[in-house]
Amino acid sequence: MPQLSVNPWRSIRTGLSAVFLLFLVLVAILGAFSVSELRDVNRVSAEIRDRWLQSTRALGDLNNYTSDARAAEASRLLAHSDPQKAEMDREIVEIDRQVARAERSYLQVAHDAEERALYARFIGNWNAYHAVSGQVLSAAREGRQAEADALYASGSLKAYAAASDALGVLTDRTVVRAREASKQATVAYRTARALIAAAIVLAALGLAGGVYYTTRAISRPLLDLTARMRSLAANETRIDIPYTRRRDEVGEMARAVVVFRANAIELARSQQALIQQASLLEERLEAERRLTGMQRNFVSMASHEFRTPLTIIDGHAQRLASLKGRLSPDDVAERAGRIRKAVLRLRHAIEQLLESTRLSDGDAKLYYHPVAFDPAALLREVCQVHRDIAPEVRIVERYGELPADFVGDPKLLYQVISNLVSNAVKYSPDAAVIDLDAQVRDHVLEIIVQDHGIGIPPADLPQVFDRYHRGGNVGGVVGAGVGLYLVKMVVDLHAGQVAVASRLGEGTRVTVSLPLTAALAQIFRASASQV
């Protein structure tokens, strides 16, 4: 922006002085010519009555009827039924007659050359609009609605705007001239009655003009700039600063506000950059914390899951080595069986870790391979594996009538049931009882795993299926927080549902509901009807 300074001739002080001097000059001039104005009272009054009132009335009618014509054109395009279209056509014809009547009324009044030129301009534009409007209505009557709508919004609108603008200019000029004539008559009449009254009126008018000038040129700009300063203080920087081209005190203030706005914008950008950097650092820190926690949980879980089987294997291996040749075949078989169970437990832990990592970090749909399998056999296999891993825990199985061929992914469902049984064992006391029930209810395979362990706090229930979420009361039990997350993922792949109900200190009940296929559902419906 070029550097501008205050021009003394445009300063506020100079402007106020000019207003005051102008007021005095007007009072003197109008007082001197008040006598001559008295002779023109009758002439001005006749001109108002015979010319300006008639012209104003005719122009008012033209404004109303031309607006009605435009509205009728739009209504004709929007009409849907034939009666409505016919009614709008009749209304358009009637409006055209009213416009013509108003035009004749205006032409009956005497006008000067400028008014005649403005009126001729309006007539030309109005005729152009009337021609385009005729094209719009013809297209509408012939069923070319899209063409009519397009022409209405383009050519018709442009032609109407030109005619309306021309009529508006003519109307404004007529109103101004009428007001001028009325004012002349009023001033002359008041001057004739009393010069003192005329002086008072002129003084009041001058005062009003001074107030208007003060408000428009000084007070309003200052209030406007003050409001923008408040907006900038409230960090609203997307505002325009007016009056910067003025060469007075207001312009100087406006240019100062522009500088203030630039500083505020720069400050806001700096703050935003700092906020973004802080947010990025916070996200990275959170990711680092999560990664550290995952690594800690993995190491803790791996060391816990591997230590016990390895200790068992090592102990029995050392015992076999130290007592070789002195152990009976039964002792060797027993210790070999214990070693095998420890290896099975170790293998199960490794497979669980690998399967969990594969499912949670990849696209689970890629590993979903549904086939027909026996769900009861799968459930028994899971229970037997966990009996071998934790022989001190009692797993009670109760099965209703289950389908022999359930369609699903046996590997993924094995992982689901194994995770649920593993959690039940993990969060239950030694020698606890784990209940596993399975039945078909309303054509849905329902599998329930229930323990009598520590339970889940109510505050943690809404997040039990969230990845890496662990309950607030399991700090002493190793885990990664992905078990139930994987359960939910696999059940969703099978279009099923999983629900968790738990009471703190009493245990947890997990219900997995898997829908049967259409063929299996039909078989079970037939079986139920026979019963």
Cβ atoms within 10 A of the Cβ of 109, count? 17
Asked which of 144, 160, 193 is the last residue of a domain, the reply is: 193
**What is the tens place of the pLDDT at every residue in 297-349?**
555 555 545 555 666 566 656 666 666 666 677 766 766 766 776 676 566 65
3-state secondary structure 157-168: HHHHHHHHHHHH
What SS3 class is residue 236? Answer: coil
287 in a structural domain: no
At residue 470, φ and ψ (nearest 5 deg) are -130, 150
**Burial label, 502 (beta-carbon count in 10 A; 0-12, 13-18, 19+):** buried
Q: Are 241 and 257 in contact (CB under 8 A)?
A: yes
Asked which of 193, 217, 240 is the last residue of a domain, the reply is: 193
What SS3 class is residue 232? Answer: helix
pLDDT (tens place) for every residue of the chain, 531 residues total: 555 555 666 666 676 677 667 767 766 766 665 656 556 666 666 667 667 777 788 778 888 878 887 787 788 888 788 888 888 888 888 888 888 888 888 888 888 888 888 888 888 888 888 888 888 888 888 888 888 788 888 888 888 888 888 888 888 888 888 788 778 777 767 776 665 666 666 767 777 777 777 777 777 777 877 887 787 777 776 777 777 777 777 777 777 777 777 777 787 788 888 888 888 888 888 767 765 655 555 555 555 455 556 665 666 566 666 666 666 777 667 667 667 766 765 666 566 556 656 655 555 566 688 899 999 999 999 898 888 778 888 999 999 999 988 999 998 899 899 889 988 888 888 888 999 999 999 889 999 999 998 888 888 788 887 776 565 545 545 455 567 888 888 899 899 999 999 888 889 999 999 998 754 444 445 554 554
| Strand 497-503 versus strand 433-441 pairing type | unpaired
Measured distance CA(495)–CA(491) in Å, rounded: 6
380 in a structural domain: yes
End-to-end CA distance of the chain: 94
378 in a structural domain: yes
Q: Assign residue 439 the CATH number of its domain.
A: 3.30.565.10
Look at the chain and report how many structural domains it folds into. Answer: 2
Asked which of 193, 220, 254 is the last residue of a domain, the reply is: 193
**Tell me, what amino acid is at 428?**
S
Measured distance CA(359)–CA(484) in Å, rounded: 12
176 in a structural domain: yes
Q: Assign residue 96 the CATH number of its domain.
A: 1.20.120.1730
Q: Which domain holds residue 114?
A: 33-193
104 in a structural domain: yes
283 in a structural domain: no
Helix, strand, coil % over all residues of the chain, rounded to 5: 70, 10, 20
187 in a structural domain: yes
**Tell me, what amino acid is at 501?**
A
**Residue (of 45, 13, 67, 458) closest to 248 by Cα position:** 13
CA dist list (Å): 142 to 95, 131, 138: 22, 17, 6
143 in a structural domain: yes
**What is the tens place of the pLDDT at every residue in 11-36?**
666 766 776 677 677 667 666 656 56
Region of 257 on the Ramachandran plot (φ > 0 left; ψ -120 to 50 alpha; else beta): alpha
What SS3 class is residue 5? Answer: coil
Measured distance CA(498)–CA(409) in Å, rounded: 16
